[in-house]
Structure 1
Amino acid sequence: MKNLILIASLATAVASAASAVEVNSPGTNEARVMSQENFTGNAVAESMLPANEQNTHNTGIVTFPPGSRTAWHSHPRGQTLIVTSGTGWVQERDGERVEISAGDTVWCPPNVEHWHGATDTSLMQHIALTYFEGDTNVTWGDLVSDEEYAAPTTE
């Protein structure tokens, strides 16, 4: 009888663990045009995996049409970008604008102000992993001006 209870308990545990796996397919989550307060152009984001008690980051896919970009911003625990298609730019405040393209992975360190988005002629899409510190995962600054976007900063 004890063996039967043990087997039943193990079967229940395995079934519970198996039911905890979540699959989110592209296009099944709500996509939204990003706020013009924090983005220039019509960037669209779709959540892939929200933060939870085991996972301390949001994961989403963001599509930037040509010319669209984030505002200057920083993340208290950093951000990882994985470029999945197209060509874009990323720039740290007072740094050089860097071209990024499909296959590139970008690490934006904690509290480093930066922006990223598409080039002026190419769409760019990336997966963004944004890490939380408490309830905060991003601090927004000013929009990137057309002049800042068009010309890299020189030192």
Structure 2
Amino acid sequence: MVKNEEVKDGIIFSSGEKNDAFAQYFIGQSYMNTLVADPDVNVGVGNVTFEPGCRNNWHIHHDGYQILLVTGGEGWYQEDGEKAQFLQAGDVVVTHDGIKHWHGATKDSWFEHIAITAGTPEWLEPVSEDIYDQLGK
């Protein structure tokens, strides 16, 4: 059973188009609705929607940060060397400069967050199936 299917249409903002521009950095299908892409503002804001089981690769934000405002569904956030955090609507995550991390949907639920991002991302390896399969057990 898939939970939180209403997320696929967007809870607050539209889920946007398939996130083809960043597909190489995701396992599974994600969608992106860019909300702020003003070259005069040093921050990007986007509504990111993940299909069940979708997650992004490990990554680091250099000379910046990332704030996630969870708006729907159920997901995970994990920093390297730390236990994964279960996320649901209303949760807020702050990732500081230089911290290796990943985030994405649970296996059986859609997941959506607003990502507020500054700096330059460095995309790393995918989250292993071993790590992902152990979540929630």
Q: Same fold (TM over 0.5)?
A: yes
Equivalent of 1:79 in 57, 61, 66:
66
Q: How does 1:34-53 map to 2 (within 5 A)?
A: 34=20, 35-53=22-40
Of 57, 68, 93, 2:43 maps to 57
SS in 2 for 1:78: strand
Q: Greater RCO between the two (CA within 8 Å, min separation 6)?
A: 2
1:128 paired residue number: 115
How much does 1:122 deviate?
Answer: 1.0
The total of aligned residue pairs comes to: 122
Q: Does 1:95 align with 2:82?
A: yes
Mapped contact 2:65–2:94 kept (Cα < 8 A): yes
Q: Which runs of 5+ in 1 are unaligned?
A: 1-24
- 2:120 paired with 1:118: no
| Corresponding letter in the other structure for 1:119 | T
RMSD in angstroms over aligned alpha carbons?
Answer: 1.9
Pair 1:70–1:110, CA change in 2 (3 A): same
Which residue of the other structure, out of 90, 93, 97, is the alignment partner of 1:106? 93
Conserved 8 A contact 1:32-1:46: no
Whether 1:144 aligns to 2:130 is no
- Unmatched 5+ residue regions in structure 2? 1-11
Task: Report the CA distance between 1:111 and its aligned residue.
Answer: 0.8
Per-residue deviation, 1:26: 4.2
Deviation at 1:78, TM superposition (A): 1.0
Contact between 1:72 and 1:143, CA under 8 Å: does it hold in 2? yes
Cα offset, 1:108, TM superposition: 0.7
Provide the rounded CA distance (Å) in 2 between the counterparts of 1:90 and 1:37. 19
Q: TM-score, normalised by structure 2?
A: 0.82
User: Do the aligned residues in 1 keep the contact of 2:75 with 2:88 (CA within 8 Å)?
Assistant: yes
2:54 corresponds to 1:68: yes
Following superposition, which runs of at least 4 residues in structure 1 exceed 3 angstroms of deviation?
none
Rounded to whole Å, the distance in 1 between the matches of 2:25 and 2:134 is 20
Q: Work out the CA distance in 2 between the residues paired with 1:125 and 1:26.
A: 10
